[in-house]
Amino acid sequence: MANQTKSTALILGGALFLGLTLLGFQLGKALIDFKQFERSVTVKGLSERDYPADVVIWPIQFIEANNDLPELYRTVENNSSKVRDFLIQRGIDEAEITFNSPSITDKSAQQYGGGPRAEFRYTANQTITVYSENIEAVRKAMAALADLGKQGLVLAGNNYMAQTEYLFTRLNEIKPEMIEEATENAREVAEKFAEDSDSNLGKIRKASQGQFSISARDNNNPHIKKVRVVSTVEYYLSD
C-alpha cells in the first residue's frame, strides 16, 4: 500500500513538473512572439504639388492733396471712376471691384511748433480693392498700371498694408489624393528599411496626417502655390 501511494505521488509529481515545463515554454514563446509583434518602424511620407492660385485680392491705392476739401473729394471721386474704367476695360467684372471711403488727413490740425506749413492742408488716401477669380485678367491689369499714372493718378507703392494676396481655396478637393500619395511614399521608405534590416513589413500600427501648408512657389511667382503635407506612419516589423 505504501509503495502504491509512493508510485502515485511520483506520477503526480512528474505530471505536475511536465505541465509546468510546458506552461513555461508556452509563456516564453508567447513573450517572444509579443516582442516580435511590437517591433516597428516609423517613417514620414511627403506629398508636394504646385497649383495656380484661384483667388486674387489686389488693393490699388492713390493719393491726392488739395487745400480745398470739397474739391479734394471731387478729385478723388473722379480718379476712382478712372480706376474703375481701367479695370473694366481689362476684363475685370465691376462686381469684383470695391471702393473704400477715402482717408482724409488735415495737416493743419496736426501742425505742432513753429515749423513750416505744408503746401496742401488736406491729403486723401483712397483704396480700391479687386477680389477676383480671374487671375490672368488681374495680372494683365497689374502690368498695365502705368496707364493710370499717365492719367494723372499718384499711385501709392510699397505699402505693407496694401499687398496683393493670392489664395488657393480648393484644398479640400486635393486632400484625399495628396494624403494617399504621402502614405504611399511612407510605405516605400518603410519597405526599403525593412529590406535593409532583413525584416518583413507588416500592417500599419499607427498613422498621423500632418498639417497642410500652402505657400508661394517662389518670390517671383506668388500666384503659383506650393501645397505640402507630411504623413507620419508606424509599421509593424517581423523576421
* Stated pTM of the model: 0.75
Q: What is the C-alpha separation between 57 and 114, in angstroms, rounded? A: 43
Q: Where are the domains of the chain?
A: 39-52+170-239, 55-167
CATH number (3.90.320, 1.10.10, 3.30.70, 3.40.50) of 55-167 reads 3.30.70
Q: What is the C-alpha separation between 213 and 211, in angstroms, rounded? A: 6
Q: What is the amino acid identity at position 23?
A: L
Q: What is the C-alpha separation between 87 and 76, in angstroms, rounded? A: 17
> What does residue 109 show for φ and ψ, rounded to 5 degrees?
-75, -20
pLDDT, tens only, 24-52: 444 344 334 444 556 888 999 999 999 99
Output the CATH code of domain 39-52+170-239.
3.30.110.170
pLDDT range class, residue 114, cuts 50, 70, 90: low
pLDDT, tens only, 73-82: 999 999 999 9
Which residue has cell 511536465?
Answer: 18
Per-position b or e across 215-231, b if 16+ CB within 10 A of its CB = eeeeeeebbebbbbbbb
